[in-house]
Amino acid sequence: MSDRHRSDRRCLYLRGLKWPLQLSDPDISRYNVPMKRLTIVAVLLLVSALVLSAAGRSESAPEGFRIGVFVPGVVDGSPTYEMMVNGVNRAAREEGGTEVSVVEGGFNQATWEEGVMSMAASGRYDVIVTSNPSMPEIALTVAEAVPEVRFLILDGYLEGHPRIHTILFNQREQAYLAGYFAGLVTTSSMPDSRPDRRVGLLAGQEYPIMNEVILVGYREGAQAVDSSITVDFRVLGNWFDAGRAQEIATDMIGRGSDVILTIAGGGNQGVVSAARERNAYALWYDDTGYDEGPGVVAGSTLVRQDTAAYESTRAAIRGETPWGTAVILGVADDAVGFDTEHPEFQNLVPDELVTEIEALLHRLSTGQLVLEMPVPGQ
């Protein structure tokens, strides 16, 4: 379909309503769309159509597959988003004839829907790729407003919409791995382990998967080592304040936590600094973090979002995406793991702890231990 055809359809229809849109139209009520949101959508679609018309985009434009990557945050310093972008770009390079544009949405979540709506309404993209547990709801709203847009969503779950495909990682397994390793560390004879049997978790913000899956799985894993272990859970309140994160982590260590799982974005470095100064350990989440704090970062759980982004993007380019479906990937799919091969890990951690965490990975990969990921909203 040409850009002009797409733009024309966006001018003529908004969720089935003919253009020009009359906000007093009684048919609007059956779509259950808030009036404020409907007004914003209408304005975005109109502006998009005018921009495309002024730019002269037409059927004579070069053919090719066009992908828009929406980053709900920023790429630099965000391992999961770096992996997503790298995976999409790799698929585009290998498949050829594909253009990739990356849009950073920033840290203000209130603006994400407007940013995605603008991308979709522009008519520039055959598919929009994004990643975040909050994106399915946003994508659903946008997909209902813009007739042709399709979404590939990583780290989220939504099934049943014919133009959305989601991939959710089993973060219960991932958090359990982190908690189990934290339990091994705090009960070990490692130099900075303490007798308190207390481990920490610092989150950038609270959200359903954090509260209901990650925190629960982390505690579950730690107490599988020793049922007396307690978890000190704190919230930074943002994803960037390393200074405040250092203050919180320092207090956590002072209260007995000898190992802290940090899931705080830019705040992670504050945790590393506190652990270095107060003789404690940090755990990394989603990506290998040993080089971020040699001798301090004792373990790193992995989510191979780059592989998921690559494979799902390649399928979209080839026309093989199972739209309307949602999948959950875990250790058995080689999508979730723990980095036991990094030299810093091997130099810091006793052999018996390495053997223990590798045994846990084996049990998860072979189904000897099953930790089901709760489906959001169900």
Let me know: does 141 contact 151? Beta carbons within 8 Å: no
196, containing H or E segment: none
Q: Quick: pLDDT tens for 197-229.
A: 999 999 999 999 999 999 999 999 999 999 999
Query: Minimal CA–CA distance to 343: which of 295, 302, 301, 304?
Result: 295
CB atoms within 10 A of CB 64: 11
Q: Quick: pLDDT tens for 96-147.
A: 999 999 999 998 999 999 999 999 999 999 999 999 999 999 999 999 999 8
Mean pLDDT over 41-50 rounds to 43
Task: Give, in order, the Cα–Cα distances in Å from 158 to each of 164, 297, 300, 324.
Answer: 8, 34, 28, 8
**50: pLDDT strictly greater than 60:** no
Lowest average pLDDT, out of 42-51, 138-147, 329-338, goes to 42-51
CA–CA separation, 57 and 185 (whole Å): 59
CA–CA separation, 76 and 66 (whole Å): 23
Predicted confidence at residue 78, as pLDDT, reads: 86
Name the token pair of 248.
């919180």
Which domains can be identified in the chain, with CATH numbers?
3-169 (3.40.50.2300), 171-303+340-366 (3.40.50.2300)
What's the half-sphere exposure (Cβ side, CA atoms, 13 Å) at 51? 13
Name the token pair of 89.
């770009």
Let me know: does 232 contact 290? Beta carbons within 8 Å: no
Let me know: does 121 contact 146? Beta carbons within 8 Å: yes
Predicted confidence at residue 147, as pLDDT, reads: 87
Residue at 90: amino acid letter: R
Lowest average pLDDT, out of 36-50, 100-114, 165-179, 209-223, goes to 36-50
| Torsion angles phi and psi, residue 72, rounded to 5 | -80, 70
Let me know: does 310 contact 359? Beta carbons within 8 Å: no
Give pTM, 2 decimals: 0.82
Name the token pair of 265.
């974005």
- Residue 282: left (phi > 0), alpha (psi -120 to 50), or beta? beta
